Amino acid sequence: MLTATKAQPISYDINLPYDELPGDTDLVRSPTSLRVKDASVPELHKAGIEITHITPGLGSYISGIQLNQLSDVAKDELAHLIAQRKVLAFENQDLIDDGPAAQQEFMNYYGNGYPGFQIIQRDGNKEELARFLEQRPTTTLWHQDVSYEIQPPGYVILGYLQVSPEVGGDTLFTATYTAYKRLSPTMQSFPPLGAHTSRTGERCPFINGDVVTKIEGLKEPGFRVLQELLMQHMITGLGGRPGVWWGDAHTAVVDYIDEDESVKLRHLFRLAAMAENPIPVGQA
């Protein structure tokens, strides 16, 4: 687990909302993974990286390196590794102790200087959780972060601060690119599907269980059926540890409730680097 160990707690009183960018792709870098010529990521191996896969196609635990000590070439290789594995989990990172300014500077390499922090704190409010569960049978809510922005995040760090449950509170992930490949050719070519691709050529269903309210060209019943079909198709997930990068659909799991139904504290931050505009498959 990533935790701050300095005597004085780090202040993250910088909870700034995402700016809606004007869609100018010059504001962000091209995907850094495209600069990598050697897929064996030799600079990361020189730095001492150790990679343990969580599942064959999605997710890896990373040890042996410190993110705040990587060269630019190694950072590019890290982006390449993220593009291949989608979710990387790091433990015991000095970058967490370095504070928000250093973390923002690190992330700026992968995007731009726009405010990228969001503080996420579940304060043990069991009344809030009870209201949520009055409407839903589960705390899971599959989504892709801030996908409604003109330029959604490309790389994201999730880092735990001083407070987290001893067990539980995982984030689950799913491989949307695999979900797209396993759709029938007819479904893949269906225009309202909303599948998108980037300059890496990878396609995925651009659907979000949290904020999508309609699909252009479909009436309400058709949208609901297609949304449910796609969400159920995608949510074969895996567990995640704190200190995680992600670029895929995910959900938090509120499974850290005591027998007296009190909720444990959970305090973390999310730091995002804005990416290129998503490209509709029909225009790729």
203 lies in a domain? yes
**Global pTM exceeds 0.85:** no
Q: 22 in a domain, yes or no?
A: no
Question: What distance in Å separates the CA atoms of residue 16 and residue 118, rounded to the nearest whole number?
Answer: 6
- The predicted-structure confidence for 231-276, as pLDDT tens digits, reads as follows 888 876 555 555 556 567 888 777 776 656 566 677 777 888 876 6
Cα–Cα distance between 270 and 156 in angstroms, integer?
Answer: 7
pLDDT at 146 over 60: yes
Q: Does any domain span residue 43?
A: yes
Identify whether 195 is part of a domain.
yes
Is 15 contained in some domain? Answer: no
Q: What's the residue count for the chain?
A: 284
Say if 214 falls within a structural domain.
yes
Asked whether the beta carbons of 91 and 223 are under 8 A apart, the reply is no
Query: Whole domain around residue 105: which residue ranges?
Result: 28-283
Structural domains of the chain, count: 1
Concatenating the DSSP letter of every residue in 248-266 gives S-EEE----B-TT-PBPPE
- Between CA 207 and CA 213, with CA 208 as vertex, the angle to 5 degrees is 95
Of the candidates 212, 138, 171, the residue with the CA atom closest to the CA atom of residue 59: 171
Question: The CATH number of the domain where 242 resides is what?
Answer: 3.60.130.10
- In tens, the pLDDT along 100-131 reads 888 888 988 887 655 667 766 666 567 777 78
Tens of pLDDT, residue by residue over 30-83, are: 457 778 889 999 999 999 999 999 888 888 999 999 999 999 999 999 989 988
Q: For the purposes of burial, counting CB atoms within 10 Å of the CB of 3, is it exposed (0-12), middle (13-18) or buried (19 or more)?
A: middle
The verdict on residue 20 lying in a domain is: no
Q: What is the pLDDT of residues 169-193, one digit of tens each?
A: 777 888 888 888 888 988 887 766 6
SS3 content of the chain, % helix, strand, coil (to 5): 30, 20, 50
In a domain, 7, yes or no: no
